[in-house]
Chain A
């Protein structure tokens, strides 16, 4: 993995460089102290991942990452910022895959880099990666969005009621979970529950987030989007009987994976609804084959990749990416989901 670190404080870069020295054989790391320098370095040789500070003189990190998204969409974009207030976070939500907060424990930084590295392995192929790199969000039907806003406007609205609305929609769910899992919240255990995410962020933050997250976008109101979302809710129902005696955390991750199983398809639909919609009528395997032929990857893998780079819990990412493959390790969300989905789709 080729990583470019950008920070106006040379000591920060030196600290990271020393700390990551043991990984020098895995990762090719470069360090620059400003946005323009970063663009120059990328022009000379692209990177797989850019890790940037936000507050820098001249070009801010947000500006830099927007520029990177436009010119090198395949490049993953991460923030490592000393600014911890919500405005800074909201400003960078669009062009940023993951938001880390200074001081970030060395272990946490290494884990985040490893996760990005793994995602690059998952989604091979520059073209599909560039394609996926332009997605900031998953389309949400405007009716669901309006319903969520109505709960937020209602003085009696509670996190539980809001979670009932958001939880049934992949776009808003991922938006909320992305931020709740970012270092902004500073939790050590990943969040797989929409309600918990809402509680952690607070209703005000959720409102602000939904307005900037870009979930209302091209494709939002295409009828196929509604169908795919209904399919997700259906998958949740199908997986529930398998979760009776399962560890609650695993159960939660499995349900989330079921709901988000078609995030990749939703994103592809958002880009080109008319082209993609007919694929939805194909049986699962045939559809995956056709997707691979067209895009170089199945929509399941694209979805897993997005959930991974957005920092959602790893088991959820794996379950989505490998939903149609044979169960891997028993008792994981991947195995549970694959098993729940298999019989009916095979029949």
Chain B
């Protein structure tokens, strides 16, 4: 270890005893201690730092930029000038900086670092000292706590959503019933009136009415724009009935969503796509158009329809966010289904911001999010992964070009088997 050599080389011999004392004091500290000179070269480190160095990872990335150092979320690589010791060498006091260090062996450690400039008056130069603790466990515990809270919140949300949904369904279904009965009635009534009017017109045409009366009737007929109504009213009625069918199907989808049945049943994924899309319109309609390319003749796959619907919903919401973030014109979200070898494939493509290459694995981690607080919790893809891969023995992949868009592919095998627990 040349570093200690350097230490002794630079200090005067006169203070051997004090050096020994200093070394044993800092070696007793549970925190890692590292001192660098103004060039960033290692001057001194203690036992805790050495242990860390020998055993799990190189803590010295705290000062050396040749290894990967990220912010504590692990999402953004820090610039060399942002590292605590570098900042301390610029005279800055850095307190409680939390960061993630990744070694070449792809091990990560989370550290909390305090760094201070150390004025070396005798040498007329500035050194810097950093003291750091491994806070991995602390963070794990906090995450675990957050996860528990989230699960609880989610369960409560689903429960109240379920109650809400059946209440709302009842409230919507009842008026829908009489609206459709009334529309049907109006349709019958209009037909009857049209028949009567046709009869009147025929009588007039036959010349069975005095000329003056016939003229009056013709005038009244034009004033009332009866031709227009004859054409438009049936269309208005037909479209109203279509709209009512749509309402009914949305309410039904809401019911399915709120009361997820949790057994795997042979399912037509085209149907799942249709109901999910009907339900999630709000999530994308302001930023994107949706294009469906449904196979139409998919083989059924064994799955829990409600869960796959949830996965699809998450993917659509992500796509809408990615498009909004790209901030261009209206985007396009395309959902495609197709039969493949031994199952069904479902692709969600967007032309949003895309996923940077180095994040393409991490986006599936729980809590990994690049979104602002309140907009994303980083749960969407983790949940999707859990459902597709673990519960259905399928696959979930992403292909993406940064700046151009992404395609998320869900594969559901025909005979879902639960993946063996990891």
Q: Are B177 and A14 in contact (CB under 8 A)?
A: no
Chain B residue numbers with a CB within 8 Å of A199 are 265-266
Point out residues on A near B: beta carbons under 8 Å: 9, 11-12, 14-16, 18-19, 21-22, 55, 80, 82-86, 101-106, 159, 186, 199, 202-205
Closest chain B CB from A210 CB (angstroms) = 16
Q: Which residues 259-300 in B have Cβ within 8 Å of A in the complex?
A: 259, 261, 263, 265-266
- 29 A-B Cβ contacts within 8 A? A11-B175, A12-B178, A15-B178, A15-B185, A16-B181, A18-B182, A19-B185, A19-B188, A21-B188, A55-B170, A82-B169, A82-B170, A83-B173, A84-B255, A85-B166, A85-B255, A102-B173, A103-B180, A103-B244, A103-B247, A103-B248, A104-B177, A106-B180, A106-B181, A159-B265, A199-B266, A202-B263, A203-B263, A205-B261
Q: Are A22 and B265 in contact (CB under 8 A)?
A: no
Contacts A12-B174, A203-B263; A83 near B181 (Cβ below 8 A): no
Bound form: Cα–Cα A36–B17 in Å:
102
A21 to B266, CA, bound (A): 43
User: With the chains together, A55 CA to B170 CA distance in Å?
Assistant: 9
Say if the beta carbon of B184 comes within 8 Å of chain A: yes
Contact of A202 among B180, B244, B261 (CB under 8 A): B261
For B177, what are the chain A residues with a Cβ–Cβ distance below 8 Å? 12, 15, 80, 82, 102-104
Contact A18 to B185, CB < 8 A, known contacts A103-B248, A106-B180: yes
Chain A CB within 8 A of B176 CB: yes
State whether A9 touches B178 (Cβ < 8 A): yes
Q: Does B390 sit within 8 A of A, measured CB to CB?
A: no
Nearest neighbor of B254 in chain A, beta-carbon distance: A84
Q: Which 6 A-B pairs have the closest CB atoms?
A: A15-B181, A15-B178, A82-B173, A18-B185, A103-B176, A19-B181
CB pair A18–B166 under 8 Å, yes or no, is no
Nearest residue (CB) in B for A85 is B166
The smallest beta-carbon distance between A125 and chain B, in angstroms, is 34
Given that A83-B166, A103-B248 are contacting pairs, would A204 and B263 also be in contact in the complex, using a CB cutoff of 8 Å? yes
Q: Is B252 an interface residue (CB 8 A)?
A: yes
When distances are taken between beta carbons in the complex, the residues of chain A under 8 Å from B170 are 55, 82-83
B231 vs chain A, min Cβ distance (A):
23
| B201: Cβ under 8 A from any A Cβ | no
Q: Which residues of A contact B176 (CB under 8 A)?
A: 102-103
Point out the residues of chain B lying under 8 angstroms from A203, CB to CB.
263
Known interface pairs A15-B180, A16-B181, A21-B188; 17 further A-B residue pairs with C-beta atoms within 8 A, sorted by A's residue number? A11-B178, A12-B178, A12-B181, A15-B182, A19-B184, A19-B185, A55-B170, A82-B170, A83-B170, A85-B255, A102-B173, A103-B173, A103-B179, A103-B248, A199-B265, A202-B265, A204-B263
* CA–CA, A104 and B176, complex, Å: 9
Q: Which residues of B contact A18 (CB under 8 A)?
A: 181-182, 185
Query: With the chains together, A266 CA to B180 CA distance in Å?
Result: 41
Measuring CB to CB, which residues of chain B are less than 8 angstroms from any residue of chain A? 166, 169-171, 173-182, 184-185, 188, 244-245, 247-248, 251-252, 255, 259, 261, 263, 265-266
* A9, closest chain B residue (CB): B174
Other-chain residue from A22, A84, A202 in contact with B173 (beta carbon distance below 8 A):
A84
A residues within 8 A CB of B248? Answer: 103
- When C-beta atoms are compared, the residue in chain A nearest to B255 turns out to be A84
Cα A11 to Cα B176 in complex, Å, equals 10
Contacts of B180 in A (CB 8 A): 15, 103, 105-106
CA distance A12 to B176 in the complex (A): 9
CB-CB < 8 A to A85: which residues of B?
A: 166, 169, 255, 259
CA distance A134 to B383 in the complex (A): 50
Measured in the bound complex, the distance between the Cα atoms of B171 and A84 in whole Å is 11
In the bound complex, residues from chain B placing their C-beta under 8 Å from that of A22 are 188
CA distance A19 to B184 in the complex (A): 6
Which residues from chain B contact A186 at a C-beta distance below 8 Å? 252
**How far is A82 from B185 in the complex, measured between Cα atoms in Å?**
21
**A102 CA / B259 CA spacing, docked (Å):** 18
A83 adjacent to B169 (CB under 8 Å): yes
Q: How far is the CA of A108 from the CA of B251 in the complex (A)?
A: 18
Asked if A204 contacts B181 (CB within 8 A), the reply is no
| A194 CB, min distance to chain B CBs, angstroms | 15
**Inside 8 A of A104's CB, which chain B residues have their CB?**
177
Contact at A102–B174, with CB atoms within 8 Å? yes
Name the A residues within 8 Å of B247 (CB-CB). Answer: 103
Roughly how many angstroms separate A9 CA and B176 CA in the complex, as a whole number? 12
| Shortest Cβ distance from residue B199 to the other chain A in the assembled complex, whole angstroms | 19
Most chain B CB within 10 A, of A21, A101, A103, is at A103
Cα–Cα, bound, A306→B348 (Å): 49
Bound Cα distance from A64 to B188, whole angstroms? 33
Give chain B nearest CB distance to A211 CB in angstroms: 17
Taking a contact as CB atoms under 8 Å apart, the answer to whether A19 and B263 are in contact is no
- State A216–B343 Cα separation when bound (angstroms): 41
- Cα–Cα distance between A16 and B179 once the two chains are bound (Å): 10
Contacts of B244 in A (CB 8 A): 103
What residue of chain A has the Cβ atom nearest to residue B252's Cβ?
Answer: A186
A204 touching B261, Cβ below 8 Å:
yes
CB distance from A158 to the nearest CB of B (A): 10
Whether A82 and B182, one on each chain, are in contact in the complex, defined by CB atoms closer than 8 angstroms, is no
